[in-house]
């Protein structure tokens, strides 16, 4: 990167990174919605898992059309289309929450909203990976994803304050109103961002210069994607990882409440001392709000992991760091499955620390040396996010079937073993891809 070109590219990076914040907020709000819908709409854990199905199902259905659209109209216009659809989905919460007040009307709003997110992510993720040296792609994407992590910190706090902020006796009308307000604000913010992107030209974002430069680095851009093991394994790993991440996010609040608040043989309520203390200092109106604030702490760890991940790769290769974090997260999930009452809920937040680097590292490692095929390959990686549509209903079914949240965490366990294996095998997979050329 030349000195003359560094400032425009840096500005482009910061603008696109702001989009990471937006979709991070949207995703993190889902984790609060699961429990809220269980309460106000009286749906089971299995049914509430369909929130994630509607969201990540949209990613699966819209990723490839989004990639084709972006190839036709360019990155910047593709981002504008995604922002417009996202705003429409956010404003659909108004009729869903104030008129229809049904679970399925909310799912429709979330599907439309997520279709916009799919278009934005299909453009933003690959753009960041080609916006500089390929060896720094994983760290660069991890840095951009750090903006995503900041949103993950803010969203549970907003959810705890707005959605669970009303006392339980406030009534259903207040519950629905508190659900609509955050999404109306989100829609207004998205419209402002849409205006900003409409009025400026991001250097190189509509051109193919970044991809062309990447294509010249390696003959792999001429090899079909299915013949490149590092990409194929990356898509499979991303599928399993996203299934694990979304599953953990969806039922973390349920697990924390179940583990931190128990009953003895006489039926008396026993609350974990640390949980009770935390409820006191946060002045939470309901236990659900306290649990949402605990998730906020987990998201702080998530952000710390994102910011530190790019720095750690200066001394540890990305694939080795991915393998290490996959192993450590598998151990964390085993402690969660052990379900040590009043204890395991305190260990669960560590899961977010070790999840922090996984998506950007897998994404960047999978796209390495793909050159002119980067856009198409990125769409398949975005489609692999459909794993997040499958795991929550399955985890909800296990929780309903066995009456315990700890049992259902066996599914995320598999999703964290996969990145550990991919990280360890990555150099060999990359060599096989090179041989295919």
Which residues, 6 or more positions from 217, have their beta carbon under 8 angstroms from its beta carbon?
A: 134, 369, 371
In this predicted model, what pLDDT tens digit does every residue of 202-249 receive, in sequence order? 766 444 444 444 444 555 566 789 899 999 999 999 999 999 999 999
d(CA 261, CA 362): 37
Angle between helices 137-158 and 287-312 (to 10 degrees): 170
Q: How confident is the model at residue 167 (pLDDT cuts 50, 70, 90)?
A: low
Rounded to the nearest 10 degrees, how much is the dihedral formed by the CA atoms of 126, 132, 137, 139? -120
Predicted confidence at residue 332, as pLDDT, reads 98
Q: Is 413 exposed, middle or buried (0-12, 13-18, 19+ CB in 10 A)?
A: middle
Structure tokens at 155: 């969203």
Residue 259: pLDDT band by 50, 70, 90 thresholds?
very high
Length of the chain as a residue count: 437
Q: Under CATH, what is the fold of the domain 3-436? A: Growth Hormone; Chain: A; (1.20.1250)
Report how far apart, in Å, the C-alpha atoms of 238 and of each of 103, 234, 298, 313 are. 29, 6, 21, 20
pLDDT value at residue 153: 84
| pLDDT, tens digit (0-9, with 9 covering 90-100), for 35-67 | 778 778 888 888 888 988 999 999 999 988 998
Centre a 10 Å sphere on the Cβ of residue 352 and count the other Cβ atoms it contains: 27
More confident residue, 429 or 136: 429
- Please name the residue that has the structure tokens 């609509």: 180
pLDDT tens for 54-112 read: 999 999 999 889 989 988 988 889 999 999 999 999 999 999 989 998 999 999 999 99
pLDDT score for 220 = 54
| Domain edges within the chain | 3-436
Q: How far is CA 76 from the centre of its chain?
A: 22
């Amino acid at each position: 990167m030349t000195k003359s070109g560094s400032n425009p590219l840096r500005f482009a990076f910061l603008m696109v990174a702001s989009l990471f914040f937006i979709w991070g907020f949207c995703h993190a709000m889902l984790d609060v919605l699961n429990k809220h819908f269980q309460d106000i709409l009286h749906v089971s854990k299995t049914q509430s898992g369909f929130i994630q199905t509607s969201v990540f199902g949209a990613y699966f259905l819209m990723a490839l059309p989004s990639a084709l659209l972006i190839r036709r109209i360019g990155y910047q216009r593709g981002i504008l289309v995604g922002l417009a659809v996202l705003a429409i989905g956010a404003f659909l919460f108004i009729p869903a929450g104030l008129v229809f007040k049904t679970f399925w009307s909310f799912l429709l709003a979330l599907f439309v909203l997520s279709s916009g997110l799919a278009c934005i992510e299909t453009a933003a993720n690959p753009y960041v990976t080609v916006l500089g040296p390929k060896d720094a792609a994983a760290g660069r994407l991890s840095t951009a994803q750090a903006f995503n992590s900041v949103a993950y910190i803010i969203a549970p706090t907003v959810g705890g304050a707005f959605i669970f902020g009303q006392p339980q006796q406030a009534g259903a009308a207040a519950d629905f109103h508190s659900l609509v307000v955050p999404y109306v604000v989100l829609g207004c913010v998205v419209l402002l961002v849409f205006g900003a992107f409409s009025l400026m030209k991001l250097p190189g974002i509509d051109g193919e210069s970044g991809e062309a430069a990447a294509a010249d680095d390696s003959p792999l851009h001429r090899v079909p994607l299915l013949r490149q093991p590092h990409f194929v394994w990356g898509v499979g790993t991303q599928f399993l990882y996203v299934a694990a991440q979304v599953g953990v996010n969806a039922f973390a609040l349920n697990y924390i409440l179940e583990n931190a608040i128990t009953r003895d043989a006489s039926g008396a309520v026993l609350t974990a001392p640390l949980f009770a203390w935390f409820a006191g200092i946060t002045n939470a109106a309901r236990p659900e709000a306290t649990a949402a604030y605990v998730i906020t702490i987990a998201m702080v760890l998530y952000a710390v992991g994102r910011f530190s991940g790019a720095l750690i790769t200066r001394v540890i290769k990305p694939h080795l760091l991915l393998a290490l974090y996959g192993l450590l997260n598998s151990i964390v999930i085993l402690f969660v499955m052990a379900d040590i009452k009043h204890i395991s809920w305190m260990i669960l937040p560590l899961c977010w620390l070790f999840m922090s680097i996984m998506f950007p590292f897998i994404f960047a490692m999978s796209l390495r040396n793909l050159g002119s095929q980067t856009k198409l390959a990125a769409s398949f990686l975005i489609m692999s996010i459909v794993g997040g549509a499958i795991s929550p209903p399955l985890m909800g079914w296990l929780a309903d079937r066995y009456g315990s949240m700890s049992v259902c965490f066996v599914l995320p366990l598999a999703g964290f073993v996969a990145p550990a294996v991919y990280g360890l095998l990555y150099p060999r997979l990359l060599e096989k891809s090179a041989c295919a050329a």
